[in-house]
């Protein structure tokens, strides 16, 4: 075998030849919808050579990403002994001999592949995808590694032979390997793609026929925005959450208080306003899809929360200020919530919601409001 390369969705990520100890590597994370195209060129086969065996496996990290990887001398590795749970695999035997050949792998199309869609308040485990291409010869009844199919859910360990790891048992995320005629590569999701994978798991589109909703781009994912991240990850989507929060607070402070019917509230014939130092608590902002299900959403990708474009707001004050400067006790549900809702309406579509997510303003519930929901496009 003289050379091989790997393209993911058309982008070159691995390129290597027999005389090249340092392969070009541009990408190590992935989504299960990615298509891995292997280009193999064989021009010096052994006389006993009868074909190639391609083995691929999709696993889920059993522990945390931080515990699984380490950096040594500027290179990132999966620590030997790291445990994974097998969720899909594929084995192909091809009888090609010399010349260029192309093979395509698609992780989510492999046998037994499945992903969770239940609610959860914990982050998903990253996916780990690896493949190895092994020569077969007339003296071998089996390939050089153990390719015995594993039942879904089986626990495996990095460094084991059937993972196709190099002899040292150390799996680098920044290199592929080529030894004794064996080639292979590994891909491990980072936290950004672990989050993006959730959208794919719930049916978002990542390619043709391009019917929305779509999996967020990597560039759409940002580091956690403090209290505006009420999801399971240290990264999130953010469609101007802070700007809309600040806009609501600015519109709320000093605002004339109204009742549930929209009538101005007065005290001794004086208008009543919200204090200039009034605060609002954000009880929910960005939520990843599984977290969205965990809080009771029936439409995981339909909520604006999962796109970083919604806020749930709770007022902290139950007093107002009359025009003569006196403090006025107000009814939380009759006065404060309608006024906060009107302030939120300056920033988008807003309504009072009960604890079950029912729209009180549309008559869906007779319960007291739990929060004011604000969303935007």
- Give the pLDDT confidence score for residue 51 in this predicted structure: 65
pLDDT of 305 above 70? yes
Token duo for residue 115? 């992903």
Single out the residue of 359, 325, 352 nearest to residue 338, CA to CA: 352
More confident residue, 158 or 209: 209
- The b-or-e profile of 208-239 (16+ CB within 10 A means b, else e) is eeeeeeebbeeebbeeebeebbbbbbebbbbb
Go through the domains of the chain in sequence order and give each one's CATH number.
3-201 (no CATH), 221-375 (3.30.1380)
Distance of CA 270 to the CA centre of its chain: 52
- Give the pLDDT confidence score for residue 133 in this predicted structure: 72
- Give the pLDDT confidence score for residue 179 in this predicted structure: 42
Single out the residue of 144, 154, 150 nearest to residue 177, CA to CA: 144
H/E element, 338: helix 337-344
H/E element, 16: strand 11-17
Q: Read off the pLDDT of each residue in 133-159 and give the average, rounded to a whole number.
A: 53
Hey, which bits of 219-301 come out as E strands?
221-223, 235-237, 266-267, 270-273, 280-284
Distance in angstroms (rounded) separating the CA atoms of residues 131 and 90: 9
More confident residue, 114 or 232: 232
Give the tens place of pLDDT for each residue, 284-300: 999 999 999 999 988 89
Q: Read off the pLDDT of each residue in 208-220 and give the average, rounded to a whole number.
A: 84
H/E element, 334: none
- Give the pLDDT confidence score for residue 147 in this predicted structure: 46
pLDDT of 316 above 70? yes
Single out the residue of 362, 358, 192, 373 nearest to residue 288, CA to CA: 192
pLDDT of 143 above 70? no
The Cα-based distances of 352 to 126, 318, 336, 369 in angstroms read 37, 16, 11, 6
- Give the pLDDT confidence score for residue 182 in this predicted structure: 60
Q: Read off the pLDDT of each residue in 232-255 and give the average, rounded to a whole number.
A: 98
- Give the pLDDT confidence score for residue 95 in this predicted structure: 63
Task: Specify the range with the lowest mean pLDDT, choosing from 123-137, 316-330, 332-346.
Answer: 123-137
Confidence at 154, pLDDT banded by 50, 70, 90 = low
More confident residue, 98 or 144: 98
Cross-strand bridge partners of residue 70: 77
CA angle 225-228-229, nearest 5°?
A: 75
């Amino acid at each position: 075998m003289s050379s091989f390369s790997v393209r993911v969705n058309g982008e070159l990520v691995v390129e290597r030849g027999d005389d090249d100890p340092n392969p070009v590597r541009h990408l190590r994370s992935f989504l299960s919808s990615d298509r891995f195209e292997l280009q193999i060129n064989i021009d010096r086969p052994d006389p006993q050579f009868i074909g190639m065996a391609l083995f691929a496996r999709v696993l889920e990290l059993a522990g945390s990403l931080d515990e699984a990887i380490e950096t040594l001398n500027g290179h990132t590795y999966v620590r030997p002994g790291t445990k994974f749970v097998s969720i899909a695999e594929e084995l192909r035997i091809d009888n090609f001999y010399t010349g260029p050949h192309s093979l395509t792998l698609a992780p989510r199309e492999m046998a037994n592949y499945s992903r969770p869609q239940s609610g959860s308040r914990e982050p998903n485990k990253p996916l780990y995808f690896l493949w190895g291409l092994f020569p077969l010869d007339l003296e071998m009844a089996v390939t050089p590694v153990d390719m015995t199919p594993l039942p879904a859910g089986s626990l495996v360990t990095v460094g084991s032979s059937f993972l196709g790891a190099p002899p040292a048992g150390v799996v680098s995320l920044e290199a592929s390997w080529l030894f004794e005629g064996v080639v292979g590569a590994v891909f491990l999701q980072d936290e950004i793609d672990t989050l993006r994978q959730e959208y794919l798991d719930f049916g978002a589109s990542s390619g043709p026929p391009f019917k929305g909703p779509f999996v967020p781009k990597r560039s759409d994912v940002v580091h956690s925005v403090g209290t505006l991240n009420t999801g399971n990850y240290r990264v999130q989507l953010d469609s101007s959450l802070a700007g809309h929060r600040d806009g609501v607070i600015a519109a709320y402070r000093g605002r004339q208080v109204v009742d549930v019917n929209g009538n101005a509230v007065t005290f001794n014939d004086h208008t009543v306003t919200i204090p200039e130092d009034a605060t609002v608590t954000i009880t929910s902002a960005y939520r990843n899809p599984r977290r969205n299900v965990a809080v009771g959403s029936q439409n995981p990708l339909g909520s604006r929360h999962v796109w970083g474009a919604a806020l749930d707001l709770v007022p902290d004050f139950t007093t107002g200020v009359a025009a003569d400067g006196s403090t006025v006790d107000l009814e939380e549900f009759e006065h404060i919530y309608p006024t906060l809702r009107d302030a939120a309406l300056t920033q988008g579509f807003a309504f009072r919601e009960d604890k079950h997510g029912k729209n009180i303003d549309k008559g869906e519930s007779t319960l007291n409001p739990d929060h004011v929901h604000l969303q935007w496009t």
